[in-house]
């Protein structure tokens, strides 16, 4: 559990700051961290792995303050393992690498071969025990590092983009392993990803971070594309002529997410919509009452959006099925996921 967390890099002139009011991760839960590069995902994983101490706030690890003493932090750290984005293997053989954590925990040497064999077999790397770690491919390195973590049977497994460097078939295998150890062994898993569909598929909960802060997560209005920038603003064109503008100078493949509540609806002839960026024409193709005083409206045009509209506004604009409308949202309202190594699915239908 984290409360009032704040972390700034010591001695750094970078303005980056991770701030989380509260975060509770239940034992045996699987939490997905989603957000663009620099959002604070890795920093949060380092904090959860007890490798860096928060500048402010309270961190309770299985109900205890782990930073109380050197002994306590070492004991707590041995309950959690972080698998970094680009894992590091020590010089030596695969066996020596996987045995490292067992050795420092003083687990009897007689148990090593079984545990190492099982862990390597899980990641489909049986028989490479005596190979030099330096000669492995990036994908094999990733899997050996995962085996090295699994051999320790940790209570908390922290994975920083665990499938980023491996081919699709093995990525699915890694997903299956992570799912299995979480649900069968009760291991708490926190993983970061750019892959939107992976987060939805695996995570019991999803924490969406942007610029060091939690931002509301929505499955609605997700659009992917290659970002371009003019130095002040950036945009993607999910379809020719349909440009979504957002703040910042992001480049590369990104997924834009717009919260349905941040989109405003106007009649097609309403001059209040103006000519600014992110004004899209469309027709109402679905109307759905979600809460007592709100409706979810699907607007289909060049792109399809879902918009949450308060009922009085719906009546004021006389919105009805098939009626032409305009929608508008501010560039600041666009959340970003990515750049992605594999393309997230566009959940918009």
User: What is the nearest approach in angstroms of another protein to the Cβ of residue 104?
Assistant: 5
Closer CB to another protein, 101 or 344, in the complex: 101
Closer CB to another protein, 80 or 122, in the complex: 80
User: What is the nearest approach in angstroms of another protein to the Cβ of residue 299?
Assistant: 47
Closer CB to another protein, 102 or 314, in the complex: 102
331's CB contacts (< 8 A; 6+ apart) are 233, 245, 246, 247, 277, 278
User: What is the nearest approach in angstroms of another protein to the Cβ of residue 278?
Assistant: 41
Closer CB to another protein, 46 or 258, in the complex: 46
Closer CB to another protein, 145 or 336, in the complex: 145
User: What is the nearest approach in angstroms of another protein to the Cβ of residue 105?
Assistant: 5
User: What is the nearest approach in angstroms of another protein to the Cβ of residue 49?
Assistant: 6
SS (H, E, C) the chain: CEEEEEEECCCCCCCCEEEEEEECCCCCCEEEEECCCCCCHHHHHHHHCCCCCCCEEEECECCECHHHCHHHHHHHHCCEEEECCCCCCCCCEHHHHHHHHHHHCCCCHHHHHHHHHHHHHHCCCCCCCCCEHHHCCHHHHHHHHHHHHHCCCCCEEEEECCCCCCCHHHHHHHHHHHHHHHHHHCCEEEEEECCHHHHHHHCCEEEEEECCEECCCCCCCEEEEEEEECCCEEEEEEECCEEEEEECCCCEEEEEEECHHHCEEEECCCHHHCCCCCEEEEEEEEEEEEECCEEEEEEEECCEEEEEEEHHHHHHCCCCCCCEEEEECCHHHEEEECCCCCCCCCCCC
Closer CB to another protein, 91 or 169, in the complex: 91
User: What is the nearest approach in angstroms of another protein to the Cβ of residue 317?
Assistant: 55
User: What is the nearest approach in angstroms of another protein to the Cβ of residue 50?
Assistant: 9
What is the binding site for another protein (CB under 8 A)?
Answer: 11, 49, 51, 74, 77-78, 80-82, 84, 86-88, 90-91, 100-101, 104-105, 148-149, 152
User: What is the nearest approach in angstroms of another protein to the Cβ of residue 100?
Assistant: 5
Closer CB to another protein, 40 or 335, in the complex: 40
Closer CB to another protein, 159 or 333, in the complex: 159
């Amino acid at each position: 559990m984290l409360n009032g967390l704040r972390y700034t890099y010591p001695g750094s002139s970078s303005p980056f700051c991770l701030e989380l009011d509260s975060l509770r991760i239940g034992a045996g839960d699987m939490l997905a961290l989603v957000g663009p590069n620099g959002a604070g995902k890795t920093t949060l994983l380092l904090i959860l792995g007890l490798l860096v101490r928060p500048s402010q706030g309270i961190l309770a690890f299985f109900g205890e303050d782990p930073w109380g003493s050197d002994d306590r932090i070492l004991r707590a750290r041995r309950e959690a393992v972080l698998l970094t984005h680009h894992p590091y293997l020590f010089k030596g053989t695969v066996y020596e690498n996987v045995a490292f954590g067992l050795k420092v925990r003083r687990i009897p040497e007689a148990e090593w071969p079984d545990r190492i064999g099982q862990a390597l077999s899980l990641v489909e790397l049986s028989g490479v025990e005596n190979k030099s770690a330096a000669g492995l491919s990036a994908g094999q390195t990733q899997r050996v590092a995962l085996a090295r973590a699994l051999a320790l049977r940790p209570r908390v497994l922290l994975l920083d983009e665990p499938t980023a460097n491996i081919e699709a078939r093995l990525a699915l295998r890694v997903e299956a392993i992570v799912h299995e150890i979480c649900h069968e062994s009760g291991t708490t898993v926190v993983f970061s990803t750019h892959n939107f569909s992976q987060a939805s598929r695996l995570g019991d909960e999803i924490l969406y971070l942007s610029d060091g802060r939690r931002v509301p997560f929505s499955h609605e209005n997700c659009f992917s594309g290659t970002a371009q920038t003019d130095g002040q603003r950036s945009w993607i064109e999910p379809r020719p002529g349909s440009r979504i503008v957002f703040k910042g100078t992001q480049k590369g493949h990104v997924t834009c997410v717009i919260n349905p509540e941040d989109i405003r609806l106007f009649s097609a002839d309403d001059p209040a919509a103006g000519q600014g960026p992110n004004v899209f024409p469309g027709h109402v193709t679905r109307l759905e009452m979600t809460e007592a005083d709100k409706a979810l409206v699907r607007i289909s045009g060049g792109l399809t959006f879902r918009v949450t509209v308060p009922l009085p506004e719906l009546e004021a604009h006389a919105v009805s099925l098939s009626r032409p409308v305009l929608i508008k949202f501010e560039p600041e309202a666009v959340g970003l996921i990515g750049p992605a190594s594999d393309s997230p699915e566009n959940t918009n239908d």
